[in-house]
Amino acid sequence: MTTQTEIKDIGDQFNIEGEFVSSAPLGNGHINQTLLVTYLNKSGKKKYVFQKINHVVFKEPMKLMENYSRVSSHLRACIDKDETQNERRNLDVVLTKLGEACYHNLEDGSFWRCYNYIEGAETYDVAENTNQAYEAATTFAQFLKLVKDLPGGRLHETIPNFHNTPARMDALKKAIQQDPCDRLKLVKDEVRFALDREKEAGTFIKLLQEGKLTELITHNDTKINNVLLDCKTGKGVCVIDLDTVMPGLIHYDFGDMIRSGAASAKENSKDLSIVYMKFDMYSAILHGFLEEADEFLTPLDKELLPLSAKIITLEIGTRFLTDYLLGDKYFKTHHADENRDRTRMQFKMVSSMEEQFVKMQNELK
Ligand code: ADP
Ligand code: GN1
Ligand code: MG
């Protein structure tokens, strides 16, 4: 844990006005260390988010921040200047005193960034009602519509092969062979579940290679707690967690909204009897997404939306399973079996989607 004094010192590196007051952990992200930091300046209290970039996951934080700054500036330029509270609609990068997008602490090798805290908005780990699901989907889709036209060259791939599902399957097979923690015997059924679906897992990458799907700029981590909704109105405010904004397939973004936003329970739920894909949430996300995204989807893109939900859920379950076998090196965990619980929960969601698949397809008509 980083101490208050250390955080104050980190804050001193950034162009922030006023005096450091306090800092506290923020949110339930699995990757970065995220802090809410309060300052006091002439106009009163002002809050910022400090994030220590996980540089084991993101191997080139400077390139990541190049993407981040480009995306954030583009979105800011697209936001209506006359809109009330327009400052809440974007993560604006606060530069360091040296004019850089993040601070690299040479003593411990850490990378820190800072941006505005968005007041009066919340994230949800599980959608509580269809309105939240709908709002999350339209907000993500509006984001995709805007980043689609990002000027300049191709964005860096901050994690290569991030949504290459066959590569994720290969990583699982390697972990099975190595079994460094002797955990394979504890997840035999889960391994079988994943490998039984290996062929279908390659569908999207194959269609991309065949030129039938087009790469766009996508978010790649559209889980429901990566979008802020207004506490009072419930309206979508801002898409966050821009680390994986890079070239990708729109399907994985849609699918991840369903995986996370249509889930009946938390990602680490142990009680599988309460886990299923809620059809009303699926429907709300589908219609919210199409409301904004229909105009840039091909007929094939649309046809594949139900399948995308299943494939990404399988992919993320496979990643949790691989991390479990390898000793919980990637995702933050709070107890020894959490990645196994997460795997089981994801695979229960896959089964639930398989059971409702025809209905999911019919909802498109
Ligand atoms: P991670 O990559 O670890 O998931 P996120 O960028 O998603 O990190 O941040 C973790 C959590 O912190 C989010 O789910 C959200 O609850 C909260 N959060 C992050 N940025 C903001 C912000 N600008 N305003 C309000 N809450 C935020
Ligand atoms: C991670 O960063 P966070 O918690 O929003 C992960 C996603 C997974 C998700 C599963 C960079 O998302 O790919 O889908 O956990 N992000 C990264 O909850 O690996
Ligand atoms: Mg996040």
Domain assignment of residue 264, given as a range: 130-362
d(CA 123, CA 136): 10
The predicted-structure confidence for 38-48, as pLDDT tens digits, reads as follows 999 999 999 99
The predicted-structure confidence for 23-76, as pLDDT tens digits, reads as follows 999 999 999 999 999 999 999 999 999 999 999 999 999 999 999 999 999 999
State whether the Cα torsion 312-317-323-325 is positive or negative. Answer: negative
- Which atom of ligand 2 is nearest to 54's Cα? 11
The predicted-structure confidence for 247-302, as pLDDT tens digits, reads as follows 999 999 999 999 999 999 999 999 999 999 999 999 999 999 999 999 999 999 99
Q: Is 261 close to ligand 2, i.e. is its CB under 6 Å away?
A: no
At residue 328, does pLDDT exceed 80?
A: yes
Q: Which band of pLDDT confidence, cut at 50, 70 and 90, is reported for residue 232?
A: very high
pLDDT (mean) for 88-93: 96
The domain boundary, picked from 94, 117, 140, lies at: 117
Residue whose tokens read 């339930």: 28
Are 102 and 141 part of one and the same domain?
Answer: no
Q: Is 360 close to ligand 2, i.e. is its CB under 6 Å away?
A: no
Count structural domains, the chain: 2
Are 234 and 142 part of one and the same domain?
Answer: yes
In a domain, 123, yes or no: no
Strands (E), 26-89: 33-41, 44-52
Return the pLDDT at 2. Answer: 81
56: CATH = 3.30.200.20
Helical H runs in 231-356?
A: 250-261, 279-293, 299-303, 305-326, 338-355
Between 86 and 357, where is the model more confident?
A: 357
* Residue whose CB lies within 8 A of the most ligand 2 atoms, among 223, 258, 343, for a mutation test: 223
- Whose CA is closest to 350, among 164, 231, 224, 201? 201
The predicted-structure confidence for 208-221, as pLDDT tens digits, reads as follows 999 999 999 999 99
d(CA 353, CA 355): 5
For residue 327, the 8-state DSSP code is T
Q: Is 87 close to ligand 1, i.e. is its CB under 6 Å away?
A: no
Are 252 and 292 part of one and the same domain?
Answer: yes
Q: Which band of pLDDT confidence, cut at 50, 70 and 90, is reported for residue 142?
A: very high
At residue 151, does pLDDT exceed 80?
A: yes
Angle at 75 between CA 251 and CA 222, to 5 degrees: 30
291: CATH = 3.90.1200.10
Q: Which band of pLDDT confidence, cut at 50, 70 and 90, is reported for residue 82?
A: confident
Return the pLDDT at 309. Answer: 98
- Answer yes or no: pTM beyond 0.85: yes
At residue 88, does pLDDT exceed 80?
A: yes
Give Cβ neighbours of residue 228 (< 8 Å, ≥ 6 apart). 118, 121, 122, 123, 236, 237, 238, 239, 240
Are 84 and 226 part of one and the same domain?
Answer: no
Q: Is 31 close to ligand 1, i.e. is its CB under 6 Å away?
A: yes
Q: Is 70 close to ligand 2, i.e. is its CB under 6 Å away?
A: no
In a domain, 125, yes or no: no
Are 112 and 25 part of one and the same domain?
Answer: yes
Give the ligand whose atoms come closest to the C-alpha of residue 330.
2
In a domain, 122, yes or no: no
In a domain, 124, yes or no: no
3-state SS class at 86: helix
Sheet holding 236-239, edge to edge: 121-122, 227-230, 236-239
The neighbourhood of ligand 3, an ion, using CB within 5 A, equals 29, 226, 241
Do 224 and 127 touch, CB atoms closer than 8 A?
yes
Return the pLDDT at 83. Answer: 82
d(CA 257, CA 281): 10
Return the pLDDT at 84. Answer: 82
Are 166 and 297 part of one and the same domain?
Answer: yes
The domain boundary, picked from 64, 85, 117, lies at: 117
Give Cβ neighbours of residue 302 (< 8 Å, ≥ 6 apart). 290, 294, 364
Return the pLDDT at 51. Answer: 98
d(CA 162, CA 232): 35
Return the pLDDT at 17. Answer: 95
